[in-house]
Amino acid sequence: MGHTTVTPTAPATTIQSSVSSTPNLVAATGLAKDCAGCGKRITERFLLKALDIFWHEDCLKCGCCDCRLGEVGSTLYTKANLILCKRDYLRLFGTTGYCAACNKVIPAFEMVMRAKNNVYHLECFACQQCNHR
Protein backbone atom coordinates (compact mmCIF):
# COMPACT_ATOMS: atom_id res chain seq x y z
CA MET A 1 0.00 0.00 0.00
CA GLY A 2 1.16 3.51 -0.76
CA HIS A 3 1.57 6.31 1.71
CA THR A 4 -1.65 8.29 2.02
CA THR A 5 -3.79 9.85 4.71
CA VAL A 6 -6.84 7.90 3.56
CA THR A 7 -6.64 4.46 5.17
CA PRO A 8 -8.99 1.69 6.29
CA THR A 9 -9.94 1.99 9.94
CA ALA A 10 -8.29 -1.33 10.74
CA PRO A 11 -5.43 -2.24 8.39
CA ALA A 12 -5.12 -5.97 7.80
CA THR A 13 -1.59 -5.93 9.14
CA THR A 14 -2.95 -5.25 12.63
CA ILE A 15 -5.32 -8.22 12.65
CA GLN A 16 -3.77 -11.34 14.12
CA SER A 17 -3.69 -14.83 12.61
CA SER A 18 -4.10 -13.63 9.06
CA VAL A 19 -2.13 -13.77 5.85
CA SER A 20 -2.14 -11.27 3.03
CA SER A 21 -0.86 -12.19 -0.37
CA THR A 22 -0.50 -10.67 -3.81
CA PRO A 23 -1.28 -12.86 -6.84
CA ASN A 24 1.59 -13.22 -9.32
CA LEU A 25 1.74 -14.42 -12.90
CA VAL A 26 4.53 -16.91 -13.50
CA ALA A 27 5.59 -18.43 -16.81
CA ALA A 28 4.51 -22.02 -17.29
CA THR A 29 7.70 -24.10 -17.32
CA GLY A 30 6.45 -27.17 -19.11
CA LEU A 31 4.98 -28.76 -15.99
CA ALA A 32 1.19 -28.81 -16.11
CA LYS A 33 -0.50 -27.54 -12.97
CA ASP A 34 -4.00 -28.10 -11.67
CA CYS A 35 -6.11 -25.16 -10.49
CA ALA A 36 -6.69 -25.04 -6.73
CA GLY A 37 -10.16 -23.62 -7.35
CA CYS A 38 -11.72 -25.95 -9.91
CA GLY A 39 -9.20 -28.80 -10.01
CA LYS A 40 -8.89 -28.61 -13.80
CA ARG A 41 -5.60 -28.42 -15.69
CA ILE A 42 -4.26 -24.90 -16.30
CA THR A 43 -3.37 -24.65 -19.98
CA GLU A 44 -2.70 -20.91 -20.27
CA ARG A 45 0.79 -19.66 -21.07
CA PHE A 46 1.11 -18.03 -17.65
CA LEU A 47 0.03 -19.42 -14.29
CA LEU A 48 -1.56 -17.36 -11.55
CA LYS A 49 0.15 -18.14 -8.26
CA ALA A 50 -1.31 -17.00 -4.93
CA LEU A 51 -0.80 -18.48 -1.47
CA ASP A 52 1.87 -20.74 -3.01
CA ILE A 53 -0.71 -22.56 -5.15
CA PHE A 54 -1.85 -22.15 -8.77
CA TRP A 55 -5.19 -20.85 -10.04
CA HIS A 56 -7.12 -20.02 -13.18
CA GLU A 57 -7.60 -16.26 -13.19
CA ASP A 58 -11.39 -16.70 -12.95
CA CYS A 59 -11.18 -19.24 -10.11
CA LEU A 60 -9.42 -17.08 -7.53
CA LYS A 61 -12.41 -15.35 -5.91
CA CYS A 62 -13.44 -13.87 -2.59
CA GLY A 63 -15.21 -16.45 -0.43
CA CYS A 64 -17.89 -13.92 0.53
CA CYS A 65 -18.72 -11.68 -2.42
CA ASP A 66 -17.25 -13.77 -5.29
CA CYS A 67 -15.28 -10.81 -6.67
CA ARG A 68 -12.24 -11.82 -8.72
CA LEU A 69 -8.94 -11.68 -6.86
CA GLY A 70 -6.74 -12.70 -9.76
CA GLU A 71 -5.75 -9.19 -10.76
CA VAL A 72 -1.96 -8.95 -10.63
CA GLY A 73 -0.98 -6.55 -7.89
CA SER A 74 -4.24 -6.88 -5.97
CA THR A 75 -4.13 -8.06 -2.38
CA LEU A 76 -6.08 -10.95 -0.93
CA TYR A 77 -6.41 -12.06 2.66
CA THR A 78 -6.85 -15.45 4.31
CA LYS A 79 -8.22 -16.26 7.72
CA ALA A 80 -10.35 -19.08 9.11
CA ASN A 81 -9.90 -21.07 5.86
CA LEU A 82 -11.39 -18.22 3.81
CA ILE A 83 -9.84 -16.34 0.92
CA LEU A 84 -11.18 -12.80 1.03
CA CYS A 85 -11.01 -9.43 -0.67
CA LYS A 86 -9.90 -6.53 1.49
CA ARG A 87 -13.42 -5.18 2.02
CA ASP A 88 -14.85 -8.49 3.24
CA TYR A 89 -11.77 -9.25 5.32
CA LEU A 90 -12.13 -5.97 7.18
CA ARG A 91 -15.92 -6.35 7.42
CA LEU A 92 -15.59 -9.79 9.02
CA PHE A 93 -12.43 -9.40 11.09
CA GLY A 94 -11.73 -5.67 11.39
CA THR A 95 -12.69 -3.50 14.31
CA THR A 96 -15.08 -0.59 14.18
CA GLY A 97 -14.23 2.81 15.55
CA TYR A 98 -15.87 6.15 16.19
CA CYS A 99 -15.51 9.43 14.31
CA ALA A 100 -13.80 12.14 16.36
CA ALA A 101 -16.12 14.78 14.84
CA CYS A 102 -19.61 13.21 14.91
CA ASN A 103 -19.03 10.31 17.34
CA LYS A 104 -20.87 7.93 14.99
CA VAL A 105 -19.59 4.43 14.23
CA ILE A 106 -17.06 4.00 11.43
CA PRO A 107 -17.26 0.47 9.96
CA ALA A 108 -13.95 -1.36 9.68
CA PHE A 109 -14.03 -1.36 5.86
CA GLU A 110 -14.74 2.36 5.43
CA MET A 111 -12.03 4.76 4.29
CA VAL A 112 -11.13 7.41 6.85
CA MET A 113 -8.95 10.43 7.46
CA ARG A 114 -6.51 10.33 10.35
CA ALA A 115 -4.98 13.27 12.21
CA LYS A 116 -2.70 12.36 15.10
CA ASN A 117 -4.76 9.97 17.26
CA ASN A 118 -8.12 10.99 15.77
CA VAL A 119 -10.07 9.15 13.09
CA TYR A 120 -12.76 10.83 10.96
CA HIS A 121 -15.34 9.92 8.33
CA LEU A 122 -14.17 11.43 5.04
CA GLU A 123 -17.19 13.75 5.03
CA CYS A 124 -16.55 14.85 8.65
CA PHE A 125 -12.89 15.77 8.20
CA ALA A 126 -12.59 19.56 7.89
CA CYS A 127 -10.62 22.49 9.23
CA GLN A 128 -11.88 23.39 12.70
CA GLN A 129 -11.46 27.12 12.06
CA CYS A 130 -12.97 27.58 8.60
CA ASN A 131 -14.73 24.21 7.98
CA HIS A 132 -12.87 23.83 4.66
CA ARG A 133 -12.44 20.21 3.54
Which domains does the chain carry?
A: 12-92 (2.10.110.10), 96-132 (2.10.110.10)
Contact 28, 44 (CB under 8 A): yes
Question: By percentage, how much of the chain surpasses pLDDT 70?
Answer: 77
- The sheet carrying 53-55 orders its strands as 24-27, 46-50, 53-55
Express each pLDDT in 22-53 by its tens digit: 776 666 666 678 999 999 999 888 778 888 89
**pLDDT digits over 116-128, tens only?**
888 899 999 988 7
Confidence of residue 83 (pLDDT cuts 50, 70, 90): very high
pTM (predicted TM-score): 0.59
C-beta of residue 90 within 8 angstroms of C-beta of residue 109:
yes
Tell me, what's the pLDDT at 5?
A: 29
